[in-house]
């Protein structure tokens, strides 16, 4: 941490701060110039945040120079984390993994039709919402536990894995029973009680980036889970909130590169929620593959016009299968195995 | 809802959409010009979102013209909602209500010192965190249940009310027992499971605006709680996330005016979290009063340098009491009763 | 500047950087810990930007610790700058200065009606656009030179000063002749050729904040003008672009406080462009005064429904005069002289 | 345009508005329901902006349903615009065009070294700044006219075309003489005086997206130029300003798809300014190609550590040539001709 004092800071103000830092066993090293009084502090600063030091009068600016996350950081673990799943699926290595299915599980029949397409495409992970976080209390909220059971049944029939979103920590036992990958939605990324609970789970976690979460905050949420003991985390970029309204969110495709620099965790991209328009999905999938993501999560529906949620961003099976062909060709060119 | 079709939309595409709308008992009224095919739909559209209609091929743009919230809206209820509490405190009427206290409850002794200042200032609501949502898993997480008990004890000694943040719905029984106003933190504003639980609570809810929540989404979260049966909601603006980094967040002072236009619910302002710097608090409090907010929530600490969280944005008692004098004078000028 | 090297940076990479820094006569002071190689550089770094150092392999992060602006900074000049104008008007001292008038000058008759109201309110500065920057090439673009002449004539009749926006540097001679304060629009804040030209002007400059300009960039644009020799600058906050769409822009009221800390320059607020709705203007004006701004710039129109631009955010004379009464009372309370 | 009246709007308020609309020869068509008074207006509304109607009391919300740009819109011209240049270069058709070179022209020698690499890579367009818009007045501002002459000379030697940024309209004659494509920088995108001047130019214009410009505003700036008579416009996405600070800007890769839907104009991507880190350039270039952009503009420098600007985001020749190989392979796969 680097601390810059105000021009008119008094000696006494500095001493008060210095005493505090020394009480934390931190070393102070001066880098002042003639104009400014600046110093670095060396040691373990994880028990407070840079912003806390503004409480000291005379402090002008505090800058963190080391990353606040540890277990999630590339400097803690150099090699890429690879999440190994049933049926030989691996996320984070040389496979490019597709997770696909409907936004919501609507019925066993609906899911069976879509699962067939998913399997036919060569993918091995079935997505589908059983508990749906909707901005309106009057909108369809999902089939709940019944949805989880349908997911499991239909997935097993087709030898597929299941990924679905958990709405709150008290449902964790149910998710442990029915689900292969537990998804955390964007709106819950900083629901820290949920993060703590997931730290005790034995299942891999798909952690979506919050609508306005910085990359650092996103990795801090991963750190919460990892500090609890569960180190199997897959990050998922799904677009951030900006001033631009033509797309539902702004897909931050560069975050994939940032994550690869800062962390060893795998990252996939969700173009459906980012764009909010099915006409953009195919091209964004190709771009995600090209930029180096480890996979995709995409919405597919055989009858999107009558879907109970998010039909607008769902691909129809025919379009989806065409897209997969393009992805397979590009995977080959880039030396990735499409799954 | 207004729907605009694409230039090259076919008759068949339109018919498919029209059938769907008619199946929902909606009436279609045409407003097309020579260049564009546009129509309005009339009736109850609350079971789907505008975006859902993009699933229909040929649809170019869908615009909602009525607000998606009902119980929270000014057109549903014309008169201002006034939340009545013990000790004659009223939020939303002609009182200007101050909630103050430390960021975190650190000990009974600490809280007692600060509560004395709060009482002395003429305020009647004591704030203080027992469960702290921290971005780092390694930072102080609050005293938990013990903190709630201390809050209750110290508040009762000084005839104060208690407002504190709830981290997850399973703690609701505890909060019902110890707390007068239950606070929802910014990061939990779209934790819909929590919203549903709070809809069953008998306590008023202080609902903070999410970091990147639009005013509409914020009111939709209020709607969630209200649709569950609890209509005692106090909104709280606490700054939004923008590109500007000099302040911790950007205080959206105009949101107070927007809320007063759109809703009948009371709204207070939290300048401490918005600015993140104690040097800005006093002036932002005055501006909040001037803009027409119903109150403030402010951090006060007798020893901010050694506070376990957010010391940087806490006022010292002396400074706090000076500020209160300025607020009282301005309240008088504006015809508000300072509490 | 503080530089952090990558974990795997080589000695050779560091040496290449060190040589470069030494060639710039900068001193290097080490603040490394066991985990990280960090050092500060001391001396004049104004010839390059922090980001330039990322060109050196092995560099992980560069942080500026001193402000990049000089003449505009509070540490360069401690006392508030006060801009002295005709008729005893002073901006930046203990006066609270109102600039008001129509968005666009539409005709001599229109301006005369409005100028009468402005004078009657006690204000001394008349605003009005002669050259209008419109997002559409098909919208009214202003009366141009004729507008400037009308402004001068009508202002002189009422003993008022004139502030109006300059669209490009080649019109500077005309503005020098007709105008008292030259306004730079938000969209031109980083038109550096214009900034350079204004550095040679003898008139005070009203520098609006760009739609997405940080406070630092805004002060850097002031620095451009000041470095050219013109130190009479009035900053003007007019709202920033965020995700929130209920208001036209988000008024960043805290920027006033930031400017007062960082700079000695006066700052006024434009609530008309920030809110974009006349119903919000009065309360935002009161909040601006309460937060400590040195004045306001507000749109007034006797017939806003038929105004050629921005009618939506213009106050009618009656409403405007009522508002002025509230502002005068609050000015008195705060010890400011309303002008 | 769709207009929604306030719940408490009076008949008189509606009539005032209706008269205004009829005076503009617009037709009113009702779409009201029991709860809300809503109507559409049909006819040419280009002389005012939706926001202007808020000046009428009783108006609650105005929504535009047709796009405000005409000549730039896909519905005005269905076929893709292809810009034809010397040496057989075509932008907007089936070529994927690379523009590369240094951020700033520093000397004839420097440019000659880099131009050789550009030529060797198969590209035909040389970029390089002669007039540099810098946020600091104390930073290198470019070689000016001398820089233009060097660009022309070196480009001709290697049979390359020249693209470079124009800082203000008075330099247009010089640019007409020396330059093949005139670039408008992000900070000047809404410098409307410059747009008007470029409308008279005979050269193609490379129009960068403003830092916080919506896609609609960007196309409106294109419309400004086109309405002046110059229809040869190449749009350039270069990242937008968001809350995320790990990258310099957030590359909005989806804007390419939005532009292709809304407009017939070609669009290229500038990953160098978006990312601000050379380590991210290659992957972002591949993603840009995959998403369907018509080309790239990339910074290359043989000695980035000593570049006078933006060294951090420049590729070294070796890295650049490797990247070109990857791009060529992917171009082939996607059926595009790499130039």
Instruction: Residue A37: name the closest of A60, A67, A70, A64 by CA.
Output: A60
How many domains are contained in chain B? 2
Q: Same domain for C30 and C174?
A: no
Tell whether B173 lies on the interface with A, counting CB pairs under 8 A: no
Residue B334 has pLDDT above 90, yes or no: yes
* β-strand pairing of B295-299 with C233-237: unpaired
Residues of chain A found within 8 Å of residue C244, distances taken between Cβ atoms: none
Residues of chain A found within 8 Å of residue D64, distances taken between Cβ atoms: none
D250, D257, D292 member nearest A254 (Cβ): D250
Q: What is the pLDDT of residue B278?
A: 85
Q: What is the pLDDT of residue B33?
A: 77
A307 domain residue, yes or no: yes
Q: Confidence band (pLDDT; 50, 70, 90) for A31?
A: confident
- Counting DSSP H helices and E strands in chain B, the numbers are 10, 15
- Helix H, strand E, coil C: the string for A55-117 is HCCCEEEEECCCCCCCCCECCCCCCCCCEECHHHCEECCCEEEEEEECCECCCHHHHHHHHHH
- Asked whether B249 and B273 are in contact (CB, 8 A), the reply is yes
CB proximity list for A280: less than 8 A, separation 6 or greater: A247, A271, D254, D257
Instruction: Residue D251: name the closest of B26, C287, B53, A239 by CA.
Output: A239
C29, C66, C212 member nearest A36 (Cβ): C66
- Asked whether C217 and C186 are in contact (CB, 8 A), the reply is no
Q: What is the pLDDT of residue A53?
A: 86
Residues of chain A found within 8 Å of residue C242, distances taken between Cβ atoms: 243
As a whole number of angstroms, the distance between CA B99 and CA B108 comes to 19
> What does the pLDDT look like over D210-222, one tens digit per residue?
999 999 999 999 9
C137 or D235: which leads in pLDDT: D235
Query: Among residues D63, D91, D113, which one ends one of the domains?
Result: D63
Residue C201 has pLDDT above 90, yes or no: yes
Q: Environment class of residue D227 by beta-carbon count within 10 Å: exposed (0-12), middle (13-18) or buried (19+)?
A: buried
A206 domain residue, yes or no: yes
DSSP type of residue B300: B
A148 domain residue, yes or no: yes
Whole-angstrom CA distances from A327 to A96, A283, A284, A294, D190 are 9, 10, 11, 13, 39
Query: Among residues A13, A30, A63, which one ends one of the domains?
Result: A63
> What does the pLDDT look like over B93-140, one tens digit per residue?
999 999 999 999 999 999 999 999 999 999 999 999 999 888 888 888
* β-strand pairing of B59-63 with B38-42: unpaired
Q: Choose from A17-31, D22-36, D143-157 the range with maximum mean pLDDT.
A: D143-157
Q: What is the pLDDT of residue B298?
A: 95
Average pLDDT for residues D4-30, to the nearest whole number? 89
Q: Same domain for A87 and A233?
A: yes
Q: What is the pLDDT of residue B163?
A: 98
Q: Same domain for A23 and A158?
A: no
Residue B276 has pLDDT above 90, yes or no: no
Residue C278 has pLDDT above 90, yes or no: no
> What does the pLDDT look like over B52-78, one tens digit per residue?
888 888 888 888 777 888 899 998 899
Residue C65 has pLDDT above 80, yes or no: no
As a whole number of angstroms, the distance between CA A105 and CA D297 comes to 44
C13 alpha carbon, distance to own chain's centre: 42
Q: What is the pLDDT of residue D48?
A: 77
Number of neighbours of residue B57 by Cβ within 10 angstroms: 18
Q: Same domain for B221 and B158?
A: yes
Q: Confidence band (pLDDT; 50, 70, 90) for D27?
A: confident
Residues of chain C found within 8 Å of residue A30, distances taken between Cβ atoms: 29
C37 alpha carbon, distance to own chain's centre: 40
Q: What is the pLDDT of residue A103?
A: 92
Q: Indicate the average pLDDT of chain D.
A: 92
Residue C307 has pLDDT above 90, yes or no: no
> What does the pLDDT look like over C50-63, one tens digit per residue?
778 888 888 888 88
As a whole number of angstroms, the distance between CA D142 and CA D148 comes to 10
Q: What is the pLDDT of residue B121?
A: 96
C279 or B151: which leads in pLDDT: B151
Helix (H, G, I), strand (E, B), or coil: what is residue D202? coil
pTM summary value: 0.93
Residue D123 has pLDDT above 90, yes or no: yes
Q: What is the pLDDT of residue A183?
A: 98
- Residue B273 belongs to domain with CATH number: 3.20.20.70
A76 domain residue, yes or no: no
Q: Same domain for B129 and B275?
A: yes
Left, alpha or beta for C58 (phi > 0: left; psi -120 to 50: alpha)?
left
DSSP type of residue C50: G
Q: Which long-range contacts (CB under 8 A, 24 or more apart) does B329-333 make?
A: B329/C333, B330/B286, B330/B289, B330/B290, B330/C290, B330/C330, B330/C333, B331/B96, B331/B289, B333/C329, B333/C330, B333/C333
C98 strand-pairing partners:
C296
Distance from CA of D29 to the nearest CA of B (A): 6
> What does the pLDDT look like over A203-244, one tens digit per residue?
999 999 999 999 999 999 999 999 999 999 999 999 999 999
Residue A61 has pLDDT above 90, yes or no: no
Average pLDDT for residues C120-144, to the nearest whole number? 91
Strands of C27-30's sheet in order across: C27-30, C38-42, C2-5, C59-63
Residues of chain C found within 8 Å of residue A54, distances taken between Cβ atoms: none
Calculate the CA dihedral of residues C135, C138, C143, C144 and round it to 10 degrees.
60
Q: Same domain for C53 and C119?
A: no
Average pLDDT for residues C149-158, to the nearest whole number? 98
Q: Confidence band (pLDDT; 50, 70, 90) for A337?
A: very high
Residue A105 has pLDDT above 90, yes or no: yes
Residue A55 has pLDDT above 90, yes or no: no
- Counting DSSP H helices and E strands in chain C, the numbers are 10, 15
As a whole number of angstroms, the distance between CA B124 and CA B101 comes to 11
Distance from CA of B336 to the nearest CA of A (A): 32
B325 domain residue, yes or no: yes
* Structural domain containing residue C276: 83-338
Whole-angstrom CA distances from D276 to B153, D185, D213, D250 are 55, 16, 19, 10
B73 domain residue, yes or no: no
Angle between helices C281-291 and C317-334 (to 10 degrees): 20
Residue A66 has pLDDT above 80, yes or no: no
B226 domain residue, yes or no: yes
**Taking CB atoms and an 8 Å limit, are C283 and B261 in contact across chains?**
no
A203 strand-pairing partners:
none
Q: Same domain for C145 and C16?
A: no
Residue B145 has pLDDT above 90, yes or no: yes
For chain D positions 209-238, those within 8 Å of chain B (CB to CB) are 212
Q: Same domain for B156 and B185?
A: yes
C204 alpha carbon, distance to own chain's centre: 12
Which of D68, D239, D244, D332 should one mutate to test binding to chain A, selecting the residue with the greatest count of A CBs within 10 A?
A: D244
For chain D positions 268-327, those within 8 Å of chain A (CB to CB) are 274-275, 279-280, 283-284, 286-292
Q: Which DSSP string do the residues of B227-242 spell out, in sequence order?
A: HTT---EEEEE--B--
Tell whether C9 lies on the interface with A, counting CB pairs under 8 A: no
Q: What is the pLDDT of residue B79?
A: 96
> What does the pLDDT look like over D147-165, one tens digit per residue?
999 999 999 999 999 999 9
Lowest mean pLDDT among A174-183, B190-199, C197-206, C298-307: C298-307
- Asked whether D131 and D147 are in contact (CB, 8 A), the reply is yes
Residue A35 has pLDDT above 80, yes or no: no
B45 or C109: which leads in pLDDT: C109
DSSP type of residue C64: -
Which of A137, A279, A304 should one mutate to test binding to chain B, selecting the residue with the greatest count of B CBs within 10 A?
A: A137
Average pLDDT for residues C208-229, to the nearest whole number? 96
Q: What is the pLDDT of residue A141?
A: 86
D236 strand-pairing partners:
D208, D268
Q: Same domain for D295 and D262?
A: yes
Q: What is the pLDDT of residue C155?
A: 98
- Residue A51 belongs to domain with CATH number: 3.30.70.1140
**Taking CB atoms and an 8 Å limit, are B257 and C280 in contact across chains?**
yes
Residue B218 has pLDDT above 90, yes or no: yes
Q: Same domain for B123 and B14?
A: no
Instruction: Residue C184: name the closest of C156, C213, C160 by CA.
Output: C213
A291 domain residue, yes or no: yes
Average pLDDT for residues C95-106, to the nearest whole number? 96
What percent of chain B shows pLDDT beyond 70?
100
As a whole number of angstroms, the distance between CA D230 and CA D235 comes to 14
CB proximity list for B269: less than 8 A, separation 6 or greater: B236, B237, B238, B251, B253, B256, B284, B285, B288, B293, B295, B296, B297
Q: Same domain for B56 and B159?
A: no
Residue D287 has pLDDT above 90, yes or no: yes
A236 strand-pairing partners:
A208, A268
What percent of chain C shows pLDDT beyond 90?
71
As a whole number of angstroms, the distance between CA A97 and CA C110 comes to 67
CB proximity list for D306: less than 8 A, separation 6 or greater: C20
**Taking CB atoms and an 8 Å limit, are B43 and D33 in contact across chains?**
yes
Residue A140 has pLDDT above 90, yes or no: no
Average pLDDT for residues D195-207, to the nearest whole number? 97
What is this model's ipTM?
0.92
Q: Which long-range contacts (CB under 8 A, 24 or more apart) does A130-133 make?
A: A130/A104, A130/A105, A130/A164, A130/A165, A131/A164, A131/A165, A131/A166, A131/A167, A131/A171, A132/A103, A132/A104, A132/A165, A132/A309, A133/A165, A133/A167, A133/A185, A133/A187, A133/A188, A133/B190, A133/B192
Q: Same domain for B143 and B20?
A: no
**Taking CB atoms and an 8 Å limit, are D31 and B43 in contact across chains?**
no
């Amino acid at each position: 941490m680097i601390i810059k004092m105000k021009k008119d800071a008094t000696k006494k103000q500095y001493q008060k701060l210095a005493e505090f830092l020394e009480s934390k066993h931190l070393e102070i090293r001066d880098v002042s110039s003639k104009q400014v009084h600046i110093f670095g502090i060396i040691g373990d600063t994880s028990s407070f945040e840079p912003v806390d030091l503004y409480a000291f009068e005379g402090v002008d600016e505090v800058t963190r120079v080391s990353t606040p996350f540890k277990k999630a950081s590339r400097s803690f673990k150099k090699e890429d984390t690879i999440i190994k799943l049933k049926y030989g699926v691996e996320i984070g290595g040389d496979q490019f993994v597709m997770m696909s299915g409907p936004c919501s599980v609507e019925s066993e029949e609906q899911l069976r039709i879509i699962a067939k397409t998913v399997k036919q495409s060569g993918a091995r992970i079935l997505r589908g919402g059983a508990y749906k976080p909707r901005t309106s209390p009057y909108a369809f909220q999902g089939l709940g536990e019944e949805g989880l059971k349908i997911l499991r049944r239909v997935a097993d029939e087709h030898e597929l894995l299941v990924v679905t979103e958990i709405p709150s920590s008290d449902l964790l036992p149910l998710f442990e029973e029915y689900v292969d990958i537990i998804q955390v939605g964007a709106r819950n990324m900083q629901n820290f009680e949920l993060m703590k609970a997931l730290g005790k789970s034995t299942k891999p976690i798909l952690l979506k980036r919050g609508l306005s979460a910085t990359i650092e905050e996103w990795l801090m949420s991963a750190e919460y889970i990892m500090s609890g003991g569960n180190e199997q985390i897959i990050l998922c970029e799904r677009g951030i909130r900006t001033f631009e309204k033509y797309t539902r969110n702004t897909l931050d495709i560069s975050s994939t590169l940032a994550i690869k620099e800062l962390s060893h965790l795998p990252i996939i991209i969700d173009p459906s929620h980012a764009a909010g328009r099915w006409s953009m999905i195919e091209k964004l999938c190709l771009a995600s593959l090209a930029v180096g993501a480890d996979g995709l999560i995409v919405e597919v529906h055989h009858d999107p016009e009558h879907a109970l949620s998010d039909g607008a961003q769902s691909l129809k099976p025919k379009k989806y299968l065409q897209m997969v062909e393009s992805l397979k060709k590009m995977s080959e060119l880039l030396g990735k195995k499409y799954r």
